[in-house]
Every structure is written in structure tokens, then in C-alpha cells.
């Protein structure tokens, strides 16, 4: 009887811990829902961006410059597009803001960074986005999500020139899809 009870307890512990080891979203997986908030207290969710190609950078303050070359190439790509293509692309910057001590100062920093980057920059204030996407919070993370909400590219760390070329080619193909 004790052995049967012990087996049931072990099985319950194992089954309850399985979700902890579930695979995080990779290429060709649906993008997890997210909700981020800008320095102006504007929220943004994945649902609001559905139907657009999303180029998402998730970074910590210390890794913002890690993929500056890619950001410059993508900004040039965006500027060269006709308005109808621009309307189909969402450029999203998210900063890891979990555990900050002076939220007001960080909100002001997000507003300043939005002006510098030319796009709204949002904060992941509770770390849920980092967790759900399994982002490396010490490096720059790049994710491209297609119009249907499927992850088509993801990488962490400093990207090489060939990675930048691959992302630009992917974006060209995705913006043409309807």
C-alpha cells in the first residue's frame, strides 16, 4: 500500500513539473501573447499587431547597442518601402524593465529612447514577455513574426553580417505575402 502511495506521489510530482520543461517558442511556432507598456503608459499587445509583419527587439539597457548595425539596416529597409508596405510592418522595441527601482526615471528613459530610435519603445515591467519568449536578458534578442502570428526568425546576441542579410531577405518575402 505504501509503495502504491509513493508511486502516485512521484507520478503527481513528475506530471506537475512537466510544464516547467516545455519547449519555449522557436521558429515556426505561434508567438506567445504579450502586453508591454511604453514610457507614456501606452500598452501594446500581440493581438493589436496581427496582420502585420513584426520585427521585435528585446533588450536590456546594457545590450541596446549590440545589434546597432542590424537596426540601421532595418531602418533603411523600412524607409525605402512604399507607404502600403510600411503600414504592414510593425517595428517594436522592448526593454527589460523588471525589478527597476525608479520607475518614473525608466519611463522617461523609454520616452527618450523612443525619440532616438524613431519608434515607440516599450517596457517589459514584470518580465513575463522575457519568460514566455525565453529571451536571454543579457543580450539583444531579435524576433520576426509573420502576419499570422508565427515566429519566422529568432536570435540572441550579436548578429553577423550574413544574419542581417538573411533577415532583410526574410522581411522582403514576408511583406509580399498576403
The reported pLDDT for the residue numbered 77 is 86
pLDDT tens digits along 157-178: 999 888 888 988 998 899 887 6
Q: How confident is the model at residue 12 (pLDDT cuts 50, 70, 90)?
A: very low
By the 8 A CB rule, do 74 and 81 touch?
A: no
> What domains sit in the chain, N to C, each tagged with a CATH number?
23-176 (3.40.30.10)
Mean pLDDT computed over 67-75: 88
The reported pLDDT for the residue numbered 74 is 87
**pLDDT surpasses 60 at 9:** no
By the 8 A CB rule, do 163 and 171 touch?
A: no
Mean pLDDT computed over 29-35: 97
Residue 73 CB partners (closer than 8 Å, separation 6+): 164, 168
- For the sheet with 121-124, list strands across it: 43-45, 35-38, 121-124, 89-96, 53-59, 141-145, 151-156
Highest mean pLDDT among 18-27, 33-42, 160-169: 33-42
Highest mean pLDDT among 34-38, 82-86, 101-105: 34-38
The reported pLDDT for the residue numbered 49 is 96
Cell of 108: 522617461
User: How many CA atoms does the CB half-sphere of 125 hold within 13 Å?
Assistant: 17
Mean pLDDT computed over 107-134: 93
Residue 141 CB partners (closer than 8 Å, separation 6+): 56, 57, 58, 59, 133, 135, 154, 155, 156
The reported pLDDT for the residue numbered 105 is 93
Burial of 85 (0-12, 13-18, 19+ CB in 10 A): middle
pLDDT tens digits along 126-157: 999 999 999 999 999 999 999 999 999 999 99
Average per-residue pLDDT for the chain:
85
Alpha helices in the chain (DSSP H): 2-17, 46-49, 68-80, 83-87, 103-117, 128-133, 161-176
Amino acid at each position: 500500500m505504501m509503495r502504491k502511495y509513493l508511486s502516485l506521489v512521484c507520478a503527481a510530482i513528475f506530471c506537475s513539473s512537466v510544464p516547467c520543461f516545455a519547449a519555449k517558442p522557436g521558429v515556426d511556432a505561434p508567438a506567445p501573447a504579450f502586453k508591454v507598456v511604453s514610457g507614456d503608459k501606452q500598452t501594446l499587445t500581440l493581438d493589436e499587431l496581427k496582420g502585420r509583419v513584426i520585427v521585435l527587439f528585446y533588450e536590456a539597457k546594457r545590450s541596446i547597442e549590440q545589434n546597432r548595425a542590424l537596426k540601421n539596416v532595418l531602418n533603411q529597409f523600412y524607409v525605402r518601402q512604399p507607404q502600403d508596405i510600411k503600414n504592414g510592418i510593425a517595428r517594436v522595441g522592448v526593454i527589460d524593465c523588471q525589478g527597476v527601482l525608479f520607475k518614473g526615471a525608466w519611463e522617461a528613459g523609454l520616452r527618450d529612447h523612443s525619440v532616438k530610435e524613431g519608434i515607440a519603445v516599450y517596457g517589459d515591467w514584470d518580465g513575463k514577455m522575457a519568460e514566455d519568449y525565453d529571451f536571454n536578458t543579457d543580450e539583444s534578442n531579435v524576433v520576426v513574426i509573420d502576419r499570422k502570428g508565427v515566429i519566422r526568425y529568432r536570435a540572441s546576441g550579436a548578429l553577423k553580417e550574413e544574419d542581417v542579410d538573411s533577415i532583410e531577405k526574410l522581411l522582403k518575402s514576408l511583406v509580399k505575402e498576403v
